[in-house]
Amino acid sequence: MAEDRIPLVDMRDISVAFGGIHAVEHAYIDLYAGEVVGLVGGNGAGKSTLMKVLSGAQRRDSGEIYIDGKVATINNPRDAKIYGIETIYQTLALADNIDAASNLFLGRELTTKVGTLDDIAMEAATRKVMGRLNPHFVRFKNPVITLSGGQRQSVAIARAIHFNARILIMDEPTAALGPAESEQVRNLVKQLKKEGIGIFLISHEIHDVFDLADRITVMKTARMVGTVNKNDVDTDKVLGMIIGGSIPPGVAITHAYSEARV
């Protein structure tokens, strides 16, 4: 990525502690428009926590978030959505007892002129977006608990992309899916990237990351190992970073703000 461009997201020196335990320590990460950054690391490396800070679901103890080069105030999920940050959580974060449209618009309901819920308009919009994502989806009237894993996933994805996200966080988007559905998600990521959306992709599936990401950020035990261009590394080197916790010799660090540069 060109150094003179302003990153879409720039998180600097982020720290989060639960009690005395550091979940994220002095972490930094950035993301440009139309780019996919893969975020990898072992269990408990702090990937999800770092992303939850960006999506407003987790309070940070220190650090700053810049959106388009300006300091952003993100203290709750509402704030994040104002900045166009949408998240597909690993747990999907769906209310199981209500239908797809109600989930899609949860917290952002369409209302009629008199302020009542406009369920018909919401269902219409849901049918439109689902028609694009998952044409086989027909159970618009059923609570989402009655849907299959793939269908639930597509509801969660629909919710993230319907509101013109600029920044998309995907936490293990293919973990619960079969091969065909996973392929669908991969195609979607490529398409969204083309549309200029910046995507953070958390995944255990190293092949997915190599397939989709432009850069790869590695974390280990709450700290940053570093960010590298995908083309400079192979899976072995990335696995080495995940396990060993250091940048392999001869690989350039690509992050704008990093301890190496300070």
Partner 1 sequence: MVEAAGTAPAPAQGRQAGIIRGLLQATEVDVRLIGMLVALAVIWIGFHIASNGLFLSPRNLWNLSVQTATIAVLANGMVLIIVSRNIDLSVGSLLGFIGMVVAVVQAEFLPWLVGGHVPLVWLIAIVVGLVAGAVIGALQGVIVAFFQVPSFIVTLGGLLIWRGATFIMTTGRTVAPLDETYQWFGGGHTGTIGATASWVVGVIVCIGVVASIIMGRRQRRRFNFPLRPIWAEVFLSVVGCIAVIGAVAVINAYPMPPLLARRYAQAHHIPWPQGGLFISFGISVPVLIALATALAMTFIAKRTRFGRYVFAIGGNPEAAILAGIKTRRVIMQTFIVMGILCGVAAVIATARLNAATVGLGTNYELYTIAAAVIGGTSFSGGIGTISGAMLGALLMQSLQSGMELMGIDTPLQNVIIGIVLVVAVGIDTAYRRRTA
Binding site for partner 1 (CB under 8 A): 55, 57, 76-78, 81, 87, 89, 91-98, 102-103, 106-109, 111, 115-117, 120-121, 123-124, 127, 141, 143, 145-146
DSSP reduced 3-state for 227: strand
Q: Distance of alpha carbon 218 from its chain centroid, rounded?
A: 15
Provide, rounded to whole angstroms, the least separation between the CB of residue 143 and partner 1: 8
Which residue's CB is nearer to partner 1, number 73 or number 187? 73
User: Is 94 or 233 the residue whose CB approaches partner 1 more closely?
Assistant: 94
What phi, psi does 99 have (nearest 5°)?
-80, 180
Cβ proximity to partner 1: between 88 and 225 the closer is 88
Question: In the complex, what is the shortest distance from the CB of residue 166 to partner 1, in angstroms, rounded to a whole number?
Answer: 17
CB of 86 to partner 1, least distance (A): 11
Q: Which residue has the tokens 């010799």?
A: 249
Q: Which is nearer to partner 1, 43 or 116 (CB)?
A: 116
- Structure tokens belonging to residue 155: 């509801």
Residue 87: CB minimum distance to partner 1, A:
7
- Best CA proximity match to 181, nearest among 150, 138, 212, 202: 150
- Phi then psi for residue 81, to 5 deg, are -65, -30
Cross-strand bridge partners of residue 29? 11
**Number of C-beta neighbours around residue 221 at 10 A:** 14
